[in-house]
Amino acid sequence: MCGFVGFLDHLPEKAKIIEDMKNAIVHRGPDSDGTYLDDEIALGFRRLSIIDLDAGDQPMYNEDGSLVLMFNGEIYNYQEIRKELLEKGHIFRTQSDTEVLLHAYEEYGYDMLNQLRGMFAFVIWDKQEKRMFLARDFFGIKPMYYAQMNGSFLFGSEIKAFLCHPNFDKRLNHDVLENYLTYQYSPSAETFFEGVMCLPPAHYLVYENGKTTITRYWEPEFKEVEEGLSLEDWAGEIRKVMEDSVNAHKISDVEVGSFLSSGVDSSYIACLAKVDKTFTVGFKQKKYNEISYAKELSDLIQVQNISKVITPEEYWDKLSMIQYYMDQPLADASAIALYFLGNETAKHVKVAMSGEGSDELFGGYNIYREPLENKAYDIIPFPIRRLIGKIASLFPKKWGFNFLVRHSKTLPERYVGNAFIFDEKEKDKLLKQRNGVDPLDVTRPYWARTKGKDTVTQMQYLDINVWMVHDILLKADKMSMANSLEVRVPFLDKEVFQVASRIPRQYKVEGEVTKRAFRKTAQEVLPEKVADKKKLGFPVPIRVWMREEPYYSRIKEAFTSEEAQQFFHTDYLLKLLEQHKAEKYDNSRKIWTVFMFLLWYQEYFVKRA
Angle between helices 570-581 and 588-601 (to 10 degrees): 130
Q: How many CB atoms lie within 10 A of CB 491?
A: 26
Q: Looking at 332-471, list the stretches that DSSP marks H as alpha helix, in order from N- to C-terminal side.
A: 334-345, 358-362, 370-373, 375-378, 382-392, 399-406, 411-414, 424-430, 440-449, 455-465, 467
Eight-class DSSP state of 510? B
Q: Of 27, 563, 603, 564, which Cα lies nearest the Cα of 318?
A: 603
Compute the distance between CA of residue 134 and CA of residue 427 in angstroms, rounded to an integer: 37
The answer to whether the beta carbons of residues 298 and 267 sit under 8 Å apart is no
Question: Beta 60-61 vs 118-126: how paired, if at all?
Answer: unpaired
Compute the distance between CA of residue 133 and CA of residue 105 in angstroms, rounded to an integer: 10
Q: Of 135, 128, 140, 174, which Cα lies nearest the Cα of 155?
A: 135
Q: Say how many residues make up the chain.
A: 609
Amino acid at 555: I
Q: Which of 2, 164, 198, 271 is catalytic?
A: 2
Q: What phi and psi values does residue 417 have, to the nearest 5 degrees? A: 140, -175
Amino acid at 183: Y
**DSSP calls for 110-145:** GGGGGG--EEEEEEEEETTTTEEEEEE-SS--S--E
The answer to whether the beta carbons of residues 221 and 452 sit under 8 Å apart is no
Catalytic status, residue 2? yes
Question: Beta 131-136 vs 203-208: how paired, if at all?
Answer: antiparallel
Known catalytic residues?
Answer: 2
